[in-house]
DNA sequence: CCGTTATCTGGTATCGGTTTCAGTGAGGGG
DNA sequence: CCCCTCACTGAAACCGATACCAGATAACGG
């Protein structure tokens, strides 16, 4: 708890000189000051420094839920990339709620130099309040409408979802369901668009009955899957738009004793930590999560330290299709005899 | 960026009066001040407040790795419990390194009012430096030697590991291996003790050949499992001392095409997020992770807000044995004909 | 040895609040 | 109508650092 005054007194110099020594400037009494600092165990008060300098030395990290392994990985990437830059991470979960997110942003804004933010919804106004307040923010995994001024680090949602669709189509599936997230989120919108495009390339359309929207959480994936299974003509393949909903879907399939991939194929966006251990191992669209975090942090740091002020930079990371065991051609019982043109619903037993 | 001076000037009062109004004290010019505050969009600078008051409004959270689902859940619990108390979370990963942890603590100490800390090792000196500095800390999941003065929130490592051992013993296993974490960590020590006790209750001892120590990370679980499988007499059951090493073990078993539980049984400390989805579903020792975090935070908050100064409080949470499908009686080929007394190694084919 | 310049120094204002202390005014009682 | 009390007010000190500015040393050339 020693202050710069204690050091100055002990060294017999003024606080100004001590301050200069601390800043690395040449000082005659360097030896005496060093001694005093060491004996007192002095270290400058970050609060006082912040007050004077305006630099807060912290970065706000707002994600929907750290418990989601994707965001946990992102946070890890953020920390790795920020190490050595003298910034700390103020972490908060928005719980997918725009209101909570706005509260958090308001509370954190005066305490941080910048934000890494995964907005709950594209209509969020929070980020705009930030840019008005002059606090730089990098949007992570999700954009915000009218937010062209922000740096964004995205993943190729369209491409990934298209690849998922193509994969299913190429296997011969026609009764394909999508369990998507809210379409007022970037991933929800992009994955939907990509998936539809992928189907279209195979001359398929998404049957409205198979076009489901959840909330990116496990329970919704489970519920929707149960609904799909209860359909008179249940799908032969499901695309789940994120990791948590994939888990929910898998649990529903297990509970209903639907065999994967015999009865139904499933492909998820995002790999699961145990994806390769599942029986069958999960076919999925994987993406670089830690890197995505690291990249976002680097963008923010460049703005913070180099004072970059140009327009929002867009970075889109590539996904990769990991074909494992949870997808295969539909079983004979489900396969349509003649391939219809648009709606692929030529009858056949419902699964189980 | 309006300051209290702007507000005072606009309202025609002194900053002292504005400050009093902000603190909720009765003030004659309340109406004018409120108006000025609203028009200017004023909110007090937390930095200036911290400098004056000494209250920093933040809590340091230091865990080995947020990517570990257990710690992610803990962090969630921490946040839930802290909501509404006006504290923010400064998160940092120590990466299981005492040195990094010490650095982090030193850097964070002047910025926080208290710590939630999962120390990398029991010999860590970091926590003691904290108590000297007068910064309260709650140890999470791991104790520290000579740290009786700290609040600690543990899980019943002994009881959980004993239950795991008992379970394996009751199934008839005798060639039982343990993949433990470092014994200079609380979980490592406790789980070892409990596991040995559980074996002893079944008149078994842990064969040194089966007594393995990893580092609580996935790769070590994998490597050690491979070693165990390469043994002339490989074990019929494995106890893995945490979630990550369980994953590693499962991957090794999969890669070596060892069937679970036919060829080998496996029981892990900690459930896996997909534990119930694995084939077979994982038998494990589960524990309340979010609650453990919430509890730790409540302890810290009580110290912070009520100014409690009594000695360290110990809280030990109960585990529960979840018997699922990854354990069963050893197959005939592996079962000893006559049950020996201490070392259970009566020959039999190695697994696979 | 002196004048000039280049370094280094301390006093002080400042960042944006809170708190003390000595008033100032209003209200009540006599 | 005066005095006393009580509630509220503003000036100024303070939290711990940094930065400007003028003044003091030292270094240097002549």
**pLDDT at position B331, please?**
81
Supply the pLDDT for residue B180: 97
Q: CB count, 10 Å around CB of B279? A: 13
| Model confidence pLDDT, tens digit, residues B307-346 | 777 778 999 999 999 999 999 999 865 444 444 444 433 3
Cβ(B267)–Cβ(B115) under 8 Å? no
Say whether A326 sits in a helix, a strand or coil. coil
In the prediction, which pLDDT does B346 show? 37
For the segment A338-349, the average pLDDT, to the nearest whole number, is 40
User: pLDDT of A50-63, one tens digit each?
Assistant: 999 999 999 999 99
**pTM for the full predicted model:** 0.90
Whether B271 has its CB under 8 Å from any CB of chain A: the answer is no
Q: What is the mean pLDDT of residues A228-257?
A: 96
Residue with tokens 């972490």: A91
Please name the member of A48, A51, A278 whose beta carbon is closest to the beta carbon of B274: A278
- Angstrom distance, B129 CA to C18 C1': 30
Asked if pLDDT for residue A279 goes beyond 90, the answer is no
| pLDDT at A346 exceeding the cut of 80 | no
Which bases along strand C come within 7 Å of a protein CB atom? 7-12, 14-20
- Quick one: average pLDDT of A178-194? 95
- Angle of CA points A26, A30, A32, to nearest 5°: 165
Q: Please name the residues between 103 and 122 in chain B that touch chain A, using a CB distance below 8 Å.
A: 107-108, 110-111
C-alpha distance from residue A152 to each of A59, A298, A299, B89 (Å) = 16, 12, 9, 24
Partner-chain residue, chosen from B88, B247, B276, that has the shortest CB–CB distance to A90: B88
pLDDT confidence bin for B148, thresholds 50/70/90: confident
> A157-287+322-345, what's its fold?
Rossmann fold (3.40.50)
Residue at minimum CA to C1' distance from nucleotide D26: A28
Question: What confidence tens digit (pLDDT) does each residue in A102-113 have?
Answer: 999 999 999 999
- Summarised one tens digit per residue, pLDDT across range B192-249 is 999 999 999 999 999 999 999 999 999 999 999 999 999 999 999 999 999 999 999 9
Please report residues of A whose CB lies closer than 8 A to that of B65. Answer: 76
How far B67 CA lies from chain A's nearest CA (Å)? 5
Query: Is a pLDDT exceeding 50 seen at residue A337?
Result: no
SS3 category, B91: strand
Residue B348 in this model has a pLDDT that exceeds 90: no
User: Rounded to whole angstroms, how far apart are CA atoms B278 and B284?
Assistant: 12
Section B299-303 average pLDDT: 94
Order of all β-strands in the sheet with A265-269:
A211-213, A176-180, A237-240, A265-269, A283-286, A320-322
Measure CA A259 to chain center: 31
Q: What is the pLDDT of residue B307?
A: 72
Mean local confidence (pLDDT), A150-165: 97
Say yes or no: A279 contacts chain B, CB-CB below 8 A.
Answer: yes
CB A216 within 8 A of CB A242: yes
Task: Identify which has the larger pLDDT, B98 or B125.
Answer: B98
The residue in chain A having the minimum alpha-carbon distance to the alpha carbon of residue B272 is A274
pLDDT band at A335 (very low <50, low <70, confident <90, very high): very low
Per CATH, the homologous superfamily of domain A4-53 is: lambda repressor-like DNA-binding domains (1.10.260.40)
Closest-CA residue of A relative to B100 is A83
The stretch A3-28 carries a mean pLDDT of 94
Burial class (CB in 10 A: 0-12, 13-18, 19+), A346: middle
The predicted structure's pLDDT at residue B337: 45
Nearest CA-CA partner of B185 in B142, B228, B218, B225: B142
Distance CA B117, CA B103 (A): 13
Q: Does the distance separating the beta carbons of B250 and A277 come in below 8 Å?
A: yes
Please report the pLDDT score of residue A332 as a whole number: 67
Q: Give pLDDT, residue B332.
A: 67
Local confidence band at B171 (pLDDT 50, 70, 90 cut-offs): very high
Size of interface A-B (CB pairs under 8 A): 119
| SS3 (DSSP) at A251 | helix
Give the mean model confidence (pLDDT) for residues A141-163: 92
Reported confidence tier of residue B137, pLDDT bands at 50, 70, 90: very high
- Average pLDDT over chain B, rounded to whole? 91
User: What average pLDDT does the segment B175-187 reach?
Assistant: 94
pLDDT of amino acid A333:
58
Residues of chain A found within 8 Å of residue B61, distances taken between Cβ atoms: 91
Q: Is B234 exposed, middle or buried (0-12, 13-18, 19+ CB in 10 A)?
A: buried
Report the pLDDT value the prediction gives residue A182, as an integer from 0 to 100.
Answer: 94
CB-based contacts of B341, cutoff 8 Å, min separation 6: B203
The string of pLDDT tens digits covering residues B258-289 is: 999 999 999 999 999 899 999 899 999 999 99
* A4-53 and A157-287+322-345 agree in CATH topology: no
Mean pLDDT, chain A, rounded, equals 91
Q: Where are the domains of chain B?
A: 4-53, 58-155+289-318, 157-287+322-345
List residues, Cβ < 7 Å, touching strand C: A 12-17, 20, 25-29, 48, 51-52; B 1, 3-5, 15-16, 19-20, 22-23, 42-45, 47-49, 51-53
Q: How far does B48 lie from chain A, in Å, by closest CA?
A: 6
Tens digit of each residue's pLDDT (9 = 90 or more) over A116-130: 999 988 888 888 888
B268 with B240: CB under 8 angstroms?
yes
pLDDT tens string A191-208: 999 999 999 999 999 999
* Distance between CA atoms of residues A46 and A3, nearest Å: 11
Quick check: helix, strand or coil at residue A64? coil
Residue with the bigger pLDDT between B287 and A338: it is B287
pLDDT of residue B128: 86
Tell me, yes or no, if B324 comes closer than 8 A to chain A by beta carbon.
no
CA distances B195 to A243, B172, B190, Å, are 35, 16, 8
Q: What distance in Å separates the CA atoms of residue B141 and residue B119, rounded to the nearest whole number?
A: 8
Range of lowest pLDDT (A307-321, B27-41, B170-184): A307-321
Could you identify the residue written with the tokens 């080998």? B264
A58-155+289-318 belongs to which CATH class?
Answer: alpha beta
- Give residue B198's pLDDT: 97
The model's pLDDT over B91-104, given as tens digits with 9 standing for 90+, comes to 999 998 999 999 99
Per the structure block, which two tokens stand in for B191? 């789980």
Q: Which positions in chain A touch B277 (Cβ < 8 Å)? A: 247, 250-251, 254, 274, 278
């Amino acid at each position: 708890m020693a202050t710069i005054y204690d050091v100055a007194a002990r060294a017999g110099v003024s606080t100004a000189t001590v301050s200069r020594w601390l800043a690395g400037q040449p000082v005659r009494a360097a030896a005496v000051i060093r001694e005093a600092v060491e004996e007192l165990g002095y270290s400058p008060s970050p609060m006082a420094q912040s007050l004077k300098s305006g630099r807060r030395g912290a970065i706000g990290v707002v994600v929907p839920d750290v418990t989601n392994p994707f965001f946990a990985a992102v946070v890890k990437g953020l920390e790795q990339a920020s190490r050595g830059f003298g910034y700390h991470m103020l972490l908060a979960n928005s719980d997918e709620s725009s209101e909570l997110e706005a509260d958090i942003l308001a509370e954190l804004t005066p305490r941080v130099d910048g934000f890494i933010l995964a907005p709950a919804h594209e209509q969020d106004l929070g980020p705009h309040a930030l840019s008005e307040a002059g606090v730089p923010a990098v949007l992570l995994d999700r954009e915000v409408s009218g937010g062209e001024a922000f740096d964004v680090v995205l993943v190729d949602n369209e491409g990934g979802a298209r690849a998922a669709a193509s994969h299913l189509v190429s296997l011969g599936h026609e009764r394909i369901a999508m369990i998507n997230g809210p379409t007022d989120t970037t991933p929800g919108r992009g994955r939907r668009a990509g998936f539809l495009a992928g189907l279209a390339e195979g001359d398929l359309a998404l049957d409205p009955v198979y076009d489901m929207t959840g909330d990116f959480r496990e329970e919704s994936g489970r519920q929707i899957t149960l609904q799909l299974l209860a359909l008179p003509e249940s799908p032969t393949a499901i695309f789940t738009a994120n990791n948590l909903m994939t888990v929910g879907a898998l649990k529903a399939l297990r509970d209903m004793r639907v065999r994967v991939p015999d009865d139904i194929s499933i492909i998820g966006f995002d790999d699961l930590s145990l994806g390769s251990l599942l029986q069958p191992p999960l076919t999925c669209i994987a993406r670089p999560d830690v890197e995505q975090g690291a990249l976002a942090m680097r963008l923010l740091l460049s703005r913070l330290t180099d004072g970059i002020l140009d327009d929002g930079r867009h970075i889109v990371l590539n996904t990769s299709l990991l074909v494992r065991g949870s997808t295969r051609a539909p079983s004979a019982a489900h396969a349509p005899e003649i391939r219809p043109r648009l709606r692929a619903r030529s009858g056949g037993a419902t699964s189980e």
